[in-house]
Amino acid sequence: MKRWSFLILVVVAVVAITSIAYNRPTAVEQPKETIATETNSAITKPQSSETSIVNPEPVATVRISPTTRNLLSELKDYRECYFRTDCVTPESDARAAHFFVTQQIAERLDRLVALTRQQTTSNDEFVEIAKQFLSFPDGRVQEQALVLMGSMPPRDGNAQAIMSALRNHHDARLFELAIVELQRYPNDYRATDDFLIETLNTGGHYASQVVARQLLPVLREDNIERYEQTAAELPPNTAKARYLKQVLNEYRLLQQGG
């Protein structure tokens, strides 16, 4: 009887120990469960916009006031209606209407000049406005467009726009401004020389004289011979030939320290 009691106690003890061992979490299972939970949480958790979107660097822009925007709009409207010949003016005569419209354009370009001189950078729209009105069929408007271009830092394409607008032109005042402006574009010096020599040879009477008189700042060692050759080919008794020879002599004297 004692033997059976002992066996029963042994069996009960074994069952109890087995049950405890079976229910105890193992060292391997616990980390595995934790890792799985963390991984699922990272996948399903919605990412905030702050972490998922990279904010770009702010783009530097030139702010245009409503007044300036209105000014640009008026210039565009006047240019378009001029070429459509349907501008609303207080004038009934065609020539008077032309004068009125061109005066309005010139005044607004002058106001843009005042704005550009207040800032150190140029606005792309201002540059395009200057280029557009360089080819406008009115000397006063073209003059203000040149002044506007000169009030801003040099831009690629400006020199070509000037030469294209003034080729075969006869307005002496425009050439006075153009020679000064073209000196700001050293990458276009060769094209500038071609343009000025062409003007000396075939340009308008007063335009060619202006070029000859104001050529000194344009002269360099790498272009002086071209202008000397041009002077030799011009009709000798013309004013432009005399002016050109005087300027060439002055350049040579300056080079010699005279």
Residue 128: predicted pLDDT: 95
Residue 7: predicted pLDDT: 45
10-57 pLDDT, tens digit per residue, is 444 444 444 444 444 443 343 333 333 333 333 233 343 333 333 333
Rounded Cα gap, residues 146 and 138, in angstroms = 12
Rounded Cα gap, residues 121 and 102, in angstroms = 27
182-200 pLDDT, tens digit per residue, is 999 999 999 999 999 999 9
234-250 pLDDT, tens digit per residue, is 999 999 999 999 999 99
**pLDDT band at residue 120 using 50, 70 and 90 as cut-offs:** low
Rounded Cα gap, residues 199 and 158, in angstroms = 19
Q: For the residues 155-163, what does the mean pLDDT come to? A: 97
DSSP 115-158: HHTTSSS--HHHHHHHHHHHTSS-HHHHHHHHHHHHTS---TTH
**pLDDT band at residue 177 using 50, 70 and 90 as cut-offs:** very high
Residue 12: predicted pLDDT: 46
Vertex 247 angle, CA 243 and 248, to 5°: 115
Residue 64: predicted pLDDT: 79
Whether pLDDT at 227 is above 90 = yes
Q: For the residues 222-236, what does the mean pLDDT come to? A: 97
- List CB contacts of 139: < 8 A, sequence separation 6 or more: 171, 173, 174
Q: The pTM is what?
A: 0.73
Whether pLDDT at 84 is above 90 = yes
Mean pLDDT, the chain, rounded, equals 81
Residue 121: predicted pLDDT: 58
Long-range contacts formed by 193-198: CB under 8 A, 24+ apart = 193/218, 193/223, 193/226, 193/227, 195/163, 195/166, 195/167, 197/226, 197/227, 197/230, 198/167
